[in-house]
Amino acid sequence: MSTTMTALPPRHQSKVDPNNVNRAVKSLLKWWDSKSKSQKSEQLENDGFVYLIVTLKKIPQLDRSNPFMIPLPHPLIDLTAEDSPELCLIIDDKHKNKITKEAALKKIEAERIPITSVIKVSKLKSDLSKLEKEERCCELYFAERRLMPILPKILGKEFVKKKKNPIAINLRHGNWKEQIEKACESALFFVGTGTCSVVKVAKLSMGRKEIAENVMASINGIADSVPGKWKNVRFFHIKLLESMALPVYEQVGQA
């Protein structure tokens, strides 16, 4: 049985000049450094990430619940860090063939799977409120695949706006640890309802070289993943939360 992860096609030659990416990254970091020095930390809102804005010519008719996973040379989530991030797994406790929370926790401990919280879908809203009160914000959410159609309604629009879309995993036949580690090591490209999508690709805490390498890997992976490939890509921009979007690629000469 297939897993939920989208297999990426063979990589083709990039159409983006790495020098353009390096210049844009340098400009963003210079802007951030200037802003940081001129404003009080509590007045400067930023989540510490670098974003890639993808503008396509045509909206892909693809599954919108599961992202393309673009492998990154420098992962956004360090599973080896001492202060490892919160990773939450939502399980279906209403199905007749359910995996119990106790069984899930036992498997997670035995196989050293990097999940910190298991949440039953029947208690999803109350458990998320509890995590927020404890100021324990999950870095990434995973969910049993069959739950994906009902989760948007349960979680609400605000949750989706925060870019916390759960990632579907196969708990029945897939390797839990492998699927979770794959997501943590990738940029997650969710296909939107329009031609524009935003992808988290790097962290400000990385060096300029590492950020640029992640941006390039994300650009090439996304361009090779979407239907039409490079012919369907109109623009790539990069930005920080509050900065201007800087262009790094524009398709020219084609209608």
pLDDT single digits (tens) 111-135: 999 999 999 999 988 887 777 766 5
Q: What is the pLDDT of residue 9?
A: 47
Q: What are the tens digits of pLDDT across the range 202-226?
A: 999 999 999 999 999 999 999 999 9
Provide the CATH topology of domain 87-184. Rossmann fold (3.40.50)
**Does position 189 have pLDDT exceeding 80, yes or no?**
yes
**Does position 161 have pLDDT exceeding 80, yes or no?**
no
Domain segments of the chain as ranges? 41-75+187-249, 87-184
pLDDT band at 44 (very low <50, low <70, confident <90, very high): low
Considering the entire predicted model, what is its pTM? 0.85
Lowest-confidence range among 43-47, 52-56, 242-246? 43-47
Q: What are the tens digits of pLDDT across the range 55-95?
A: 999 988 776 678 899 999 999 998 887 777 889 999 998 88
3-state secondary structure of 248: strand
Q: What is the pLDDT of residue 177?
A: 94
**Does position 3 have pLDDT exceeding 60, yes or no?**
no
**Does position 6 have pLDDT exceeding 60, yes or no?**
no
| CATH number belonging to the domain at 41-75+187-249, selected among 3.20.20.70, 3.30.190.20, 1.50.10.10, 3.40.190.10 | 3.30.190.20
Q: Give me the residue label for tokens 């690709």.
A: 201
pLDDT band at 19 (very low <50, low <70, confident <90, very high): very high
Q: What sections of the chain are H helices per DSSP?
A: 18-38, 101-110, 124-133, 151-155, 157-161, 176-184, 208-225
Cα–Cα distance between 214 and 186 in angstroms, integer?
Answer: 10
Q: What is the pLDDT of residue 48?
A: 87
Q: What is the pLDDT of residue 66?
A: 81
Cα–Cα distance between 154 and 163 in angstroms, integer?
Answer: 15
Task: Answer whether 222's CB lies under 8 Å from 16's CB.
Answer: no
